[in-house]
Amino acid sequence: MPVQLDVLIIGGGAQGLWLLRHLNAKKFKTLLLEKGELGGGQTCHSHGLIHRGHYYRDVDMLVDLNAAASFWESLLGTTGLRKLNNRPAIAGFGQVGRAVVSHHMNLWEQAGLIFEEKDEDEFPGVLAGGRVKTIFATREFSLNTKDVVEKLSGDLRHLIYRLDQRQRNPRIHVNDGAVTRVDAVIGRRRVELDPQVVVMCAGAGNKDLLDELDLGMQLGEPVQVRRKNHMLLVKGQLPELTAVFPEPGMLLGLFICTRSTANEKVWLVSDHRGSGDIDFEEDPDPDPSGEWIQVIVDSLHDLAPGLSRLRLQWSVYTGLTSERNFGGRKHQDDYFIESFGLRNALVIWPTKLTLTPLASQVAVRIVRTLIDTPAGRNLSGYRGIVRQQPAVAKETWEMRPFRNATAVKTKWMSGPEFQKTYGKFDIMLK
């Protein structure tokens, strides 16, 4: 007997989990399938920075980010999830003219953001003598993404199932412009699912799911762009810092969020430079380029010259991001929800963790137009399906070194070892 569902969600990153939460609250009978670890895609690669938009220049996007941040605030309130930054986050500017800073302040005001200009002597010590000349305290905050995944999924584990590792699992059947059935292999048993609506939240895996549906003629051009995004990790006696530097001209658009170990702090540092679209057959190296590392290390030292006095450990990792491909056309939004001509399926690509609850709300509204009466919450799981619980991924910086076709994390290295491995920096690392 097929399992009757209101909604089947494919993919258990932040997007799929927020949607599961929202649909369950609205009494839709829902099941989520995950092929690996919950959060193991982009979600746990991320800084976990919940943006309010101080980094960006598009007011509509700032409004969306600020609204999305309020969903995250409410998750904190209801689950006990804690912000990682105890100090206010900062948005900082290098030696750009006051007109550039005023332009940003103007955008922030239009979008309703709350910010306060600070004196230079309120900077953390390692920034002294660096390029930051103007700073604002903001209400951006960061979260531990493993905790996020645990809190989002905690009371809904009975609705989450892990797929067996095999090709074309799940298999989505389409007929006459609609999904008619989904076959999944769970616990070595084939399960037939009969959902009214399917929502694909598989991150970079959305492309493979769509390719298998063979909708080629509707897509017309590559449907998804996959990019490599890198993170520089620095560990030692560092101060806590949550910061964005919006002007690429001076500080290369750095983002910094802090994590704590028993004795030390870790800075997760990235900048605005991702790769172009990657064809992994042509470009199989998941490692960041030496050039990327040199620029970000130099940029970090321009920002915080005090780092050169510290003995630090260094590492890097790469995560694969996915976005809807617009070819030459203008990129319009920062999350995309599309049906590709199917009457009962949606695909969601959020380009930011921050936006996932907002995209989920929009998807729920679409589901409500497709299903008149929800079948009711399922409180105990699905009979006839062997419960295979996916594990929750660790944050990537905490993982042991690994290397695969699309991602790499190096071991921690001393400054000289890191320098020897990755090239010549203007500064010498201790």
Single-letter amino acid code for the residue at 251: L
Binding residue (CB under 6 A) for ligand FAD from 21, 22, 35, 235 = 35
**134-138 and 115-118 as β-strands: parallel, antiparallel, unpaired?**
antiparallel
CB atoms within 10 A of CB 380: 8
What would the x/- binding string for ligand FAD be over residues 191 to 210, using CB under 6 A? ----------xxx-x---x-
Phi, psi of 83 (to 5 degrees): -65, 145
Are the C-beta atoms of residues 143 and 151 closer than 8 Å to each other?
no
> Do you find a cis peptide bond into 170, omega within 30 degrees of 0?
yes
What would the x/- binding string for ligand FAD be over residues 3 to 32, using CB under 6 A? -------xxxxxxx----------------
Q: Tell whether residue 45 is a contact of ligand FAD (CB under 6 A).
A: yes
Q: Tell whether residue 353 is a contact of ligand FAD (CB under 6 A).
A: yes
Binding residue (CB under 6 A) for ligand FAD from 242, 315, 321, 325 = 321
What distance in Å separates the CA atoms of residue 125 and residue 131, rounded to the nearest whole number? 13
What would the x/- binding string for ligand FAD be over residues 149 to 188, using CB under 6 A? --------------x-------------------------
What would the x/- binding string for ligand FAD be over residues 376 to 405, using CB under 6 A? ------------------------------
Binding residue (CB under 6 A) for ligand FAD from 30, 229, 315, 360 = 229
Q: Which residue, among 8, 66, 15, 21, has the nearest Cα to 42 in the 3D structure?
A: 15
Q: Tell whether residue 319 is a contact of ligand FAD (CB under 6 A).
A: yes
Are the C-beta atoms of residues 81 and 130 closer than 8 Å to each other?
no
Element of type H or E holding 403:
strand 402-403
Q: Tell whether residue 223 is a contact of ligand FAD (CB under 6 A).
A: no
Q: Tell whether residue 51 is a contact of ligand FAD (CB under 6 A).
A: yes
Are the C-beta atoms of residues 54 and 115 closer than 8 Å to each other?
yes
Number of chain positions touching ligand FAD (CB under 6 A): 38
What would the x/- binding string for ligand FAD be over residues 254 to 293, using CB under 6 A? ----------------x-----------------------
**3-10 and 189-200 as β-strands: parallel, antiparallel, unpaired?**
parallel
Q: Which residue, among 259, 290, 321, has the nearest Cα to 418 in the 3D structure?
A: 290
Q: Tell whether residue 85 is a contact of ligand FAD (CB under 6 A).
A: no
Q: Tell whether residue 224 is a contact of ligand FAD (CB under 6 A).
A: no
What distance in Å separates the CA atoms of residue 307 and residue 404, rounded to the nearest whole number? 31
The H-assigned helical ranges of 304-430 are: 356-370, 415-422
Q: Tell whether residue 69 is a contact of ligand FAD (CB under 6 A).
A: no
Binding site for ligand FAD (CB under 6 A): 10-16, 33-36, 40-43, 45-49, 51, 163, 201-203, 205, 209, 229, 231, 270, 319, 321, 350-354, 356
